Amino acid sequence: MNLSVDIDPSSGFCFGVVYAIEMAEDILDNEGHLYCLGDIVHNDQEVKRLEQKGLQIIGHDDLERIQDAKVLIRAHGEHASTYELALKNNIELIDASCPVVLKLQNRVKNSFDECLPIYIYGKHGHAEVKGLVGQTKDEAVVFQDISELEIEKLPREITLYSQTTKSTDNLYNIREELESKGVRVNFNDTICRQVSNRDKDLRFFAGKYKKIIFVSGTKSSNGKVLYNVCREINPNTHFITNKGEIESDWFNKNDTIGICGATSTPMWLMEEVKDQLLAF
């Protein structure tokens, strides 16, 4: 087909994910085994790679039964109760929480200590959001969309935070709508700029090619946001999780193809996709 294929140089792991994976690999290289509380990254292909090196994914129920072991906390951070349980069970926590997330947790806790009503714009059940709510003794209100809030019943003044990987535009629109309805908002822009800047970078990248292949795990919130950014700019955008999902009839002879991905997408996976496309 003589396809021309480029990988977006700004795609791939954010520094928080790189930090967590490097920490895990160091221990696995030395000890051959490590527990990880939840998927280390929202990408099944990368999780499988690390499992082959000895990483064992566990859930919070498993943590109740484990004693005298090392357990990695992933970049998303954890609920305060996890640290309490670790002390009780003599578990050594390898804390790979992203520094941006840890800073946000501290800010949320400070607001809670000041008895402020806290609202968090984020995905229900997301690991990072659970960790944030844990700073408030589970009292913070989480919402994915402003339509979930009965604005007329809100306190006249609220403190607003956001999951670090949500859309910056959406967060500012939420503040504007709340304030237009008479709610005073103590506003905290807690979007990770490494993630939000990718929004801008991807808009430019997606417009340069006839077709876009967006590579991401299905569990990645950030992946869903960035995929929609690409599709908005370039309707010929295809979402895949691995090279086996590519269909040759998506392409025409001499097409230009751009490959990009989420902050949880490993570069090696995008390289595999590129090799597959060049083989057509």
Mean pLDDT for the chain? 94
Report pLDDT for 195: 79
Whether pLDDT at 167 is above 90: no
Going from the C-alpha of 147 to that of each of 8, 152, 177, the distances in angstroms are: 35, 12, 11
Going from the C-alpha of 235 to that of each of 172, 212, 228, the distances in angstroms are: 26, 9, 10
Which residues does the annotation mark as catalytic?
A: 128
- Pair 80, 135: CB distance under 8 Å: yes
Report pLDDT for 222: 84
pTM across the whole model: 0.86
Model confidence pLDDT, tens digit, residues 214-258:
999 998 888 988 999 999 999 999 999 999 999 999 999 999 999
Q: Which domains does the chain have, with CATH numbers?
A: 4-12+195-278 (3.40.1010.20), 15-98 (3.40.50.11270), 100-193 (3.40.1010.20)
3 state SS of 66:
coil
